[in-house]
């Protein structure tokens, strides 16, 4: 085989045995690494770990402080105890020495032997003035060989408690005391107590961490549970279930958040229902005149009807009706969307309404009705005169439309304590309580007024309500079936002092009125 044939073979083999590149980890490994980050943990896990870490740090600090106390103060305490024992032994030996006069007498050093018997793990050595050992509890004697082994007393003075044997102020010997296996004069019971204390602290720390973790878990679950409920409700609303609610109640922040969310969801559901109803109502209102126009025009095209003036007038009337309906809907939409800025000027309501009554006298008279107007003087409000004029005109037109011939309409303007009222009362068909609640709905008309000739477009009262709402007032409806109805507009009175304060505030803050929206 030639060299050129071998090279591709070698490269192919190398490709087969080559390990996968380490620089491109698998998506599963990336996902695992991603989930190890603190921010990817659940809120319950993070709170539980936080409580556990706090408990662990608290336990470590407590153990560190206790360890410092053990190492610094407990050693001093045990050393003082051994020094006290050494001093007591020396005093007792001195008292016996006064009687015997001989330090080498076994009776004299008996307190040293008693100290080793009564205190376990302690060694005692008594030395005379020449440095000779009189008594040493650590010396081991081999009775068979008679050899005396070296003492186990430590040579380091820091590991030994020392006390002088004094008689009449003169030193006659020295007592040295130590603890076997300890460099700090700490007996075995003291060491066991220290070790047990450390063990107890570590156990207490572990228990504290477990309890803190459990408390943190329960706390987090209690906190996350309403949040999960809000999230579940939001997901249900997003999936189209607008009736979903959290039903959270309480005084804490999360409960108030749930109540606010429910209020928002209810508002969204109402808006969606209103949108659907509006679409249906508009389609219903437009269908009848369009079908009438279409049928008339097709009949004239087919030669069934002659395109005379009467037919064209009928078509024109339906077209005008459609135009009025579209204009009314456009006006209502602009009012609801605040597309048209509202003027803020001082308006004399009595004078404004008197002009409207004057322009409607002929219209009311042609309908076979009588009109009466009564107004108190100097009823002043702040608002848009054109909007107030339109709202009042809509109420008068509505009263004329639903009052039979021979009826009576009364328009009155009164001044209350804080509100001005414009009332339009008629002796028409009246309203029931159920109808009074629905009267401001779009395209709603009383059953007795649903005929095309007398019935209106069904949006006039909705326009009235929007206008009054923009003026910070409300509309009151009263009525009784067969006895008439009364619609009363309430608008806040003009307060000169408050108006001056508002103007001064605007001057100080450099307030500028927004530019009028282009039509």
The CATH number of whichever domain residue 429 belongs to comes to 3.30.565.10
Task: Tell me, yes or no, whether 257 lies in a domain.
Answer: yes
Q: Extract the tokens encoding 298.
A: 């097709």
The answer to whether residues 473 and 358 belong to one domain is yes
Task: Tell me, yes or no, whether 154 lies in a domain.
Answer: yes
Percent of the chain topping pLDDT 90: 13
Task: Tell me, yes or no, whether 441 lies in a domain.
Answer: yes
**C-alpha distance from residue 500 to each of 105, 277, 345, 495, 507 (Å):** 115, 44, 13, 9, 11
The answer to whether residues 348 and 494 belong to one domain is yes
Q: State the pLDDT confidence band at 19, using cuts at 50, 70 and 90.
A: very low
The answer to whether residues 399 and 463 belong to one domain is yes
Is the separation of the CB atoms in 426 and 399 below 8 Å? yes
The answer to whether residues 183 and 138 belong to one domain is yes
What confidence score (pLDDT) does residue 337 get?
61
Full residue range of the structural domain in which residue 485 is found: 342-448+455-498
Q: List pLDDT tens digits, range 165-206.
A: 998 888 989 998 888 877 667 777 777 787 888 888 888 888
Is the separation of the CB atoms in 103 and 165 below 8 Å? yes
- Which range among 187-201, 206-220, 468-482 shows the weakest confidence by mean pLDDT? 187-201
Residue 22 or 459, more confident: 459
Task: Tell me, yes or no, whether 421 lies in a domain.
Answer: yes
pLDDT at 141 over 70: no
Residue 318 or 11, more confident: 318
168 backbone φψ class: left, alpha, beta (φ>0; ψ -120 to 50): left
Sequence-distant contacts of 72-78: CB under 8 A, at least 24 apart: 74/190, 74/194, 75/184, 75/185, 75/186, 78/184, 78/185, 78/186, 78/187, 78/190
The answer to whether residues 143 and 247 belong to one domain is no
Distance CA(446)–CA(510), nearest Å, equals: 50
Task: Tell me, yes or no, whether 396 lies in a domain.
Answer: yes
Task: Tell me, yes or no, whether 296 lies in a domain.
Answer: yes
Query: What value does the mean pLDDT take over residues 318-347?
Result: 72
Q: Is 467 exposed, middle or buried (0-12, 13-18, 19+ CB in 10 A)?
A: buried
The CATH number of whichever domain residue 167 belongs to comes to 3.30.450.20
Q: State the greatest distance between any 2 C-alpha atoms of the chain, in Å, as a whole number.
A: 161
The answer to whether residues 79 and 93 belong to one domain is yes
- Which range among 252-256, 314-318, 384-388, 468-472 shows the weakest confidence by mean pLDDT? 314-318
Task: Tell me, yes or no, whether 266 lies in a domain.
Answer: yes
Distance CA(471)–CA(473), nearest Å, equals: 6
Q: Where does a domain end: 324, 357, 391?
A: 324
Tell me the HSE value of 299 on the side-chain side, using a 13 A CA sphere. 15
Task: Tell me, yes or no, whether 73 lies in a domain.
Answer: yes
The DSSP bridge pattern shows strands 419-426 and 408-415 to be antiparallel
Residue with structure tokens 């309409």? 409
The answer to whether residues 460 and 313 belong to one domain is no
Domain count, the chain: 4
């Amino acid at each position: 085989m030639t060299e050129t044939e071998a090279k591709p073979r070698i490269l192919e083999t190398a490709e087969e045995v080559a390990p996968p590149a380490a620089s491109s980890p698998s998506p599963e490994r990336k996902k695992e690494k991603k989930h190890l980050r603190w921010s990817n943990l659940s809120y319950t896990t993070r709170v539980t770990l936080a409580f556990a870490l706090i408990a662990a740090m608290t336990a470590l600090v407590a153990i560190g402080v206790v360890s410092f106390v053990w190492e610094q103060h407990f050693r001093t305490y045990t050393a003082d105890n051994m020094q006290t024992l050494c001093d007591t032994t020396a005093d007792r030996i001195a008292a016996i020495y006064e009687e015997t006069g001989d330090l080498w007498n076994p009776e004299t050093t008996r307190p040293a032997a008693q100290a080793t018997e009564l205190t376990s793990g302690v060694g005692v050595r008594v030395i005379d003035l020449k440095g000779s050992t009189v008594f040493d509890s650590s010396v081991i004697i081999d009775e068979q060989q008679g050899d005396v082994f070296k003492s186990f007393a430590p040579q380091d003075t820091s590991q030994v408690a020392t006390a002088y044997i004094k008689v009449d102020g003169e030193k006659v010997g020295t007592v040295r005391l130590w603890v076997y296996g300890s460099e700090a004069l700490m007996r075995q019971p003291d060491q066991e107590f220290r070790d047990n204390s450390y063990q107890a602290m570590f156990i207490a720390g572990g228990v504290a961490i477990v309890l803190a973790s459990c408390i943190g878990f329960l706390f987090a679950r209690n906190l996350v549970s309403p949040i999960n409920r809000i999230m579940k409700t939001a997901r249900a609303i997003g999936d189209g279930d607008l009736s979903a609610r959290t039903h959270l109640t309480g005084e804490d922040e999360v409960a108030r958040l749930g109540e606010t969310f429910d209020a928002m969801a209810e508002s969204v559901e109402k808006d969606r229902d209103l949108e659907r109803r509006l679409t249906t109502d508009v389609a219903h209102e437009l269908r009848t005149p369009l079908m009438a126009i279409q049928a008339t025009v097709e009949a004239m095209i087919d030669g069934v009807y002659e395109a005379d003036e009467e037919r064209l007038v009928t078509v024109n009337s339906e077209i005008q009706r459609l135009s009025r309906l579209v204009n009314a809907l456009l006006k209502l939409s602009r009012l609801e969307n605040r597309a048209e800025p509202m003027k803020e000027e001082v308006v004399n309501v009595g004078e404004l309404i008197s002009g409207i009554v004057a322009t409607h006298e002929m219209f009311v008279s042609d309908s076979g009705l009588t009109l009466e107007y009564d107004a108190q003087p100097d009823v002043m409000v702040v608002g848009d005169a054109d909007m107030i004029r339109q709202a009042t005109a809509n109420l008068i037109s509505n009263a004329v439309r639903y009052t039979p011939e021979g009826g009576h309409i009364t328009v009155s303007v009164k001044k209350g304590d804080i509100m001005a009222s414009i009332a339009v009362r008629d002796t028409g068909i009246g309203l029931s309580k159920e109808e009074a609640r629905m009267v401001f709905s779009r395209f709603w008309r009383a059953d007795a007024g649903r005929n095309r000739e007398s019935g209106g477009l069904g949006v006039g009262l909705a326009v009235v309500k929007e206008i009054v709402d923009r003026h910070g007032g409300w509309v009151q409806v009263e009525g009784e079936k067969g006895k008439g109805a009364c619609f009363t507009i309430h608008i806040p009175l003009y307060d000169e002092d408050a108006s001056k304060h508002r103007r001064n505030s605007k001057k100080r803050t450099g307030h500028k009125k927004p530019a009028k929206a282009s039509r």
